[in-house]
């Protein structure tokens, strides 16, 4: 692909690989790999999944086209008649923010 549009990058899904990222920026993939290896890659976040390296497409969109589409926000509504303190967030339709929650394993 010669010209990467916002729509083409969005169509890649949530992440892409280093060769595709290099193609989007118009540089050699070895240059990107070398910068990542030396911790000099600052253009986007780098997700290391074992030996695989993935680049979030939202980071690419934000860098190239300004603001990225907004990600779903955690539940931020106050108490209401529809949602009580003992209801789960799945009942109110909000996306829970569980990034800092640690659950104890059963039997541990």
Higher pLDDT, 2 or 19: 19
Q: How many C-beta atoms lie closer than 10 Å to residue 16's C-beta?
A: 19
- Mean of pLDDT values over 51-72: 83
Pairing of strands 52-56, 47-49: antiparallel
Q: What is the pTM of this model?
A: 0.61
Residue 14 neighbours by CB under 8 Å, 6+ apart: 56, 57, 58
Confidence of residue 39 (pLDDT cuts 50, 70, 90): very high
Token pair recorded at residue 88: 């789960």
Residue 55, Cα to own-chain centre: how many angstroms? 8
| Sheet hosting strand 52-56, strand order edge to edge | 15-17, 52-56, 47-49
């Amino acid at each position: 692909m010669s010209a990467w549009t916002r729509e083409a990058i969005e169509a890649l899904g949530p992440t892409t690989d280093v060769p595709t990222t290099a193609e989007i920026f118009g540089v050699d993939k070895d240059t990107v790999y070398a910068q990542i290896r030396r911790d000099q890659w600052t253009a986007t976040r780098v997700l290391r999944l074992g030996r695989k390296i993935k680049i979030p497409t939202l980071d690419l969109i934000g860098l190239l086209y300004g603001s990225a589409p907004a990600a779903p926000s955690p539940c931020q509504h106050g108490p209401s008649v529809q949602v009580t303190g003992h209801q789960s967030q799945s009942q109110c339709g909000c996306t829970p923010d569980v990034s800092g929650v640690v659950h104890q394993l059963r039997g541990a």
